[in-house]
């Protein structure tokens, strides 16, 4: 059982406030039909999954009923089987129903990202490769989804356009060369990590000579990729620059790419191609 640091509480609260505002609008006219009495509910997972999203689920329900009791039977990051009761709740019936959809939306989306990430992480087990995410996230939920990637065993790439410099073909073209682009980036942002995309073995050698924090060998074929690994490993271990692969990665190609010896494999599908985990929240006690 592991613990994972979620985004700051104010980020979770902001996400939840937006979700409840768009769902409730001027008021939940349907839950108003229910008696405003205390009731029980339970959260059911209908398929195998890695569970993620408890902070958002809890915040949704506590925003509408500060006194709701939520008793979790699983921890964040647990792998569960279909049919598992994840939690039981006791609170005001109207509030339980009003918070249902928003709380489930967070749980099913973040559990989907964590579950997908765990599949990719397992597929490269035994190699040196780490699974990274990208910026291809659901608008407004980047910190939540990147947290879910960590829960699934993956590693976060840069959070946005502000916390790392990433040089691509446009920057190289504007600067005139890999070397000039790296030097300009170092001069302007000396304290930020620097990632450089290269398109050839010649550019790889140039980036290795000039130095950076990671080199992205995007769209290299298998032969070029192996050459790139061999060349990168010619440096002493303490000077070695990690190699990242992105593009053309799926479950059929993933293991081979990892076994070629690259350090990182970034996959947009962890956050972009998510299929929500099937969850439901039902009033009443859980089945025996």
| Catalytic site positions | 101, 136, 168, 197, 218
How many degrees, rounded to 5, is the angle at CA 163 between CA 113 and CA 152? 20
CB-based contact 52:76 (threshold 8 Å): yes
Q: How far apart are CA 171 and CA 107, in angstroms?
A: 39
What is the SS3 assignment for 276? coil
CB-based contact 112:275 (threshold 8 Å): yes
- Report the helix count and the strand count for the chain, using DSSP H and E: 10, 12
With tokens 């970034």, the residue in question is: 266
Tell me the pairing of strands 69-72 and 194-198: unpaired
Single out the residue of 131, 164, 138 nearest to residue 266, CA to CA.
Answer: 131
Residues 6+ apart with CB under 8 A from 33: none
The DSSP line for 189-228 is -TTS-EEEEESSHHHHHHHHHH--SEEEETT--HHHHHHH
Q: Which two tokens stand for residue 249?
A: 């990665």
Q: How far apart are CA 233 and CA 84, in angstroms?
A: 47
């Amino acid at each position: 059982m592991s613990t994972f640091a979620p985004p700051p509480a104010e980020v979770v609260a902001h996400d939840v406030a937006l979700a409840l505002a768009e769902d409730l609008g001027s008021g939940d006219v349907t839950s108003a039909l229910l008696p405003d009495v205390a009731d029980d509910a339970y959260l059911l997972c209908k398929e195998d999954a890695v569970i993620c999203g408890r902070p958002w689920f809890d915040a949704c329900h506590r925003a509408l009923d500060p006194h709701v009791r939520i008793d979790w039977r699983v921890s964040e990051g647990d792998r569960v089987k279909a049919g598992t009761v994840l939690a039981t709740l006791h609170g005001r019936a109207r509030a339980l129903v009003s918070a249902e959809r928003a709380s489930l939306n967070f749980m099913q989306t973040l559990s989907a990202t964590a579950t997908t990430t765990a599949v990719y992480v397992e597929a490269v087990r035994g190699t040196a490769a780490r699974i990274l995410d990208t910026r291809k996230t659901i608008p407004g939920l980047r910190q939540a989804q990147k947290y879910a990637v960590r829960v699934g065993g993956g590693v976060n790439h840069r959070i946005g356009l502000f916390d790392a410099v990433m040089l691509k073909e446009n920057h190289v073209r504007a600067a005139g060369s890999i070397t000039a682009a790296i030097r300009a980036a170092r001069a302007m942002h000396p304290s930020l990590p620097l990632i450089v995309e290269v398109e050839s073995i010649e550019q790889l050698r140039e980036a290795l000579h000039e130095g950076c924090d990671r080199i992205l060998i995007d769209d290299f074929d298998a032969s070029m990729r192996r050459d790139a690994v061999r060349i990168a490993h010619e440096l002493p271990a303490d000077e070695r620059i990690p190699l990242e692969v992105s593009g053309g990665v799926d479950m059929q190609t993933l293991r081979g790419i990892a076994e070629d010896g690259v350090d990182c494999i970034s996959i947009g599908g962890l956050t972009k191609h998510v299929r929500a985990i099937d969850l439901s929240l039902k009033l009443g006690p859980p089945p025996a």
